[in-house]
Structure 1
Amino acid sequence: MAQYLALTYTADVDWWAPEQAEELAEYRKFGVEYAEQVKASAVLHPTATATVVRVEGARGGPVITTDGPYAETKEALTGYYLIEADDLEAAVKIAAEIPAAWGGAVEVRPVIVAR
C-alpha cells in the first residue's frame, strides 16, 4: 500500500474553542470511520503561533526567524492525516471525507518512503 499525506487547509481557528466543538466532532467521526487507513494525524495550533525559519545564503548561514504565518490567506494549513491507500484515486476518496474538504481544501501528496 502507498502512503499519502492529506494536508488540511481551513479557517485559522483555535480548534479547542467551544464554538468549534460541532465541527471538531465531524473530524473525530472521520477518524473513527477511517481508523484503519489513517496512520497518523494532528491538529496544528493557529498560525499566529508559527515561527518561520530561513537560512540566509547557504547552509551554515545566518538563521532568520519571523513570528507568525508565512503568508496571509483565507485558509491556513491546520493539520494533516497520513493515509494508507491502494492508489491516488483511493486516497482522494478518503480525503473527500475529511471535513476540511467541505469548506476548505485538502491537498493530497504521495509520500516517498525511505528505504
Structure 2
Amino acid sequence: MVEINPRAEIKDGRVTVCDAKVNFDDNVQFRQKDIFSRRDASQGDPREVAAFEWDLNYIGLDGSIGCMVNGAGLAMLKDITISGVKDEAFAFNIFCESQRKSFELVRNMLSIHAVM
C-alpha cells in the first residue's frame, strides 16, 4: 500500500510527492527479501514487531480480550455470541510453539483482561 500526502505542483508544472508512506503485507516477506531486510522495527507497533519476529499473524484492536484462534472467523463468531465485549487482538497460526508465543504476546498487553 502506498499513501502519498501531500503532493505539490512545482514552477515548471510538474507534480512531485512531498511525503509518502509505503506498507508491505508481512505475508509476502518470502518473496520480497530485499525490501524486508530494510525494515525499521523501531517504526512499528511493538506488538506487531514481536509477532512478526515470532512468525505470527497479529491484528491489534481496541478491546480487552486477547483471541488466540486459527482464523478470524472464530473470533468474529465469538463477537456475535458475546455482546458488549470487544477484542483487543487476533493471533493466528496457533500450533504448539506458536501457542506459547501467542499467549506470551497477548498476556503482556496491559489492556488484556482475558484470553480466549
Coarse TM-score class (shorter-chain normalised): under 0.3
TM-score, L = length of structure 2? 0.24
Larger RCO of the pair (alpha carbons < 8 Å, separation 6+): 1
Structure with greater strand percent: 1
- Decide which structure has the larger Cα Rg and report it: 2
